[in-house]
Amino acid sequence: MALLDLSRSRATNPQGRLPPSTAAEARQSTWRRTASGLAGTFLVLIGIGIGILTLRFALVLMHGVLQ
C-alpha cells in the first residue's frame, strides 16, 4: 500500500503563522463551515419533526378508521 507524504508537498511558513490575508480567509471559511453545519443540522431536525408528525397523523387516522 502506498502512503502519501504530505509534509514534502506543503510549503511551510518558518514563523508558523498564516499571512494576514490567508488568516482572514481561514476565519471566514471557518464561520461559513459552522453556519452551513448549523443550517444542515436544523434542516435535519425539521425533517425528523415533520416525519414524526406525519407518522402520528397516520396512526391517529388509522385508529379512527379501525374504530
pLDDT digits (tens, 9 = 90+) for 34-59: 889 999 999 999 999 999 999 999 99
Cα distance between residue 15 and residue 61, in whole Å: 68
Confidence category of residue 22, pLDDT binned at 50, 70, 90 = confident
User: Does this model's pTM top 0.75?
Assistant: no
Query: Is 34 or 27 the better-scoring residue by pLDDT?
Result: 34
Buried/exposed code over 9-26 (b: 16+ C-beta within 10 A; e: otherwise)? eeeeeeeeeeeeeeeeee
